[in-house]
Amino acid sequence: MVFIFRPGGTPDPANGVYTTWASVMAALAAAPAGTKILQWDDSVTSPIVIPVGTYSMLDIIWARAATANALCLINLGEGRAFTKLRSINGSLRITFTGATPPVSDFVADDNVNLDGGAIVRCSGTGPFLRNNVVGGRPVVINLGSASISAAGNPVFDSSVVGAFSIIAASSYDSTLDPNMLMGVDGSTIALVPFGLGIGGLGRSGLSDFHPNFDGTLVPVDGQNRWQARVPPVITANTVLQTANQLVRVDPTAGPVTITLPSAKGNRGIPLLIKNVSASINPITIVGAAGDTVDGSALGTIIATARGSKASGLMLIANGVSDWELF
């Protein structure tokens, strides 16, 4: 059964067209059990805004109406919550501007499906989706031709120790924009692209999670996504923007200081730093503001020329405020 929500339009319940949120919700509640499709239509009023409240979306799929704008706009502010919202399939751009997630009622083994060009983004202070399930099978976010993106704030939050989430994608159009993931230390998010997905991840570095992500990010794409990048040789003081790379340094022209990226958000990600020259000028490695290197606020130094084990080192972030030497 299809129910069209067209705010500002002309009501036509006989053909499934409703112009107020109360009327469409009443119609959905009165419908027989089974799958129902709620089609959003912003052809008269755009973006669509709904009242504050908690609404059951059990067995309801969100989709774009054929008469809606090419990208149907839906704005959700604080105080809107959707229980059992598990499927968004269509060219909808949903922007959450609040602090308390609209969707946070997951149970173990839950599945969320985004497909058909759906876009979810957050411009408020809170995520759209939050997994606070401890134990049991993981919560799975399935991405088809969809994007979950961020406007400075995370879209998905793994909020408790023991929470396990899988973000799986099967389409190249499945995109995770920078800053979209957040989680606490002790939670795990696994990224699992199948075939061509995830297009927005590829090998573009590790900017796909929010700086407040303290959890474990597990690459399961079979493509060595965390293979160390090899940038050009560094010959002057440099502030690194990403981990997961081989940092080659030539201090022949004089001492070089390397400032590491923040340990927060890079838990378990390696950095390899190597003197590639015959010079013994010092290469000083220091942490970002507030960070330490193996517990030292002063950092550490490479003062040995190429050809010795001491001319290189490996650091791995603890995800909080320290880069540990290995």
Please tell me whether residues 106 and 173 are part of one structural domain.
yes
Q: Is residue 226 part of a domain?
A: no
pLDDT at 199: 42
Name the region of 229 (left: φ>0; alpha: ψ -120 to 50; beta: rest).
Answer: beta
Kind of pairing between the strands at 238-239 and 283-286: unpaired
Q: Is residue 28 part of a domain?
A: yes
d(CA 88, CA 97): 18
pLDDT at 202: 36
Radius of gyration over every alpha carbon of the chain, rounded to an integer in angstroms: 24
Q: Is residue 148 part of a domain?
A: yes
- What's the total number of domains in the chain? 2
Please tell me whether residues 143 and 289 are part of one structural domain.
no
Please tell me whether residues 184 and 277 are part of one structural domain.
no
How does pLDDT run across 294-325, given as a tens digit for each residue? 999 999 999 999 988 889 998 988 888 999 99
pLDDT at 189: 77
Q: Which domain holds residue 306?
A: 238-325
Q: How many residues are recorded in the chain? A: 326
Mean local confidence (pLDDT), 36-47: 98
- Domain termination site, one of 175, 190, 219: 219
Please tell me whether residues 177 and 297 are part of one structural domain.
no
pLDDT at 145: 83
Residue 310 phi, psi dihedral angles, 5° rounding: -75, -5
Kindly state the tokens that stand for 33: 């059990």
How far is residue 122 from each of residues 48, 95, 309, measured CA to CA in Å?
Answer: 16, 6, 47
Mean local confidence (pLDDT), 220-225: 41
Kindly state the tokens that stand for 158: 């793994």
How does pLDDT run across 266-292, given as a tens digit for each residue? 777 778 899 999 999 999 999 999 999
Please tell me whether residues 203 and 256 are part of one structural domain.
no
pLDDT at 222: 42
CATH for 314: 2.60.120.640
Q: Tokens 């499934």 map to which residue?
A: 16
How does pLDDT run across 104-130, given as a tens digit for each residue? 999 999 999 999 999 999 988 899 999
d(CA 190, CA 171): 17
Please tell me whether residues 188 and 319 are part of one structural domain.
no
Per the DSSP assignment, residues forming a β-bridge with 164 are 188
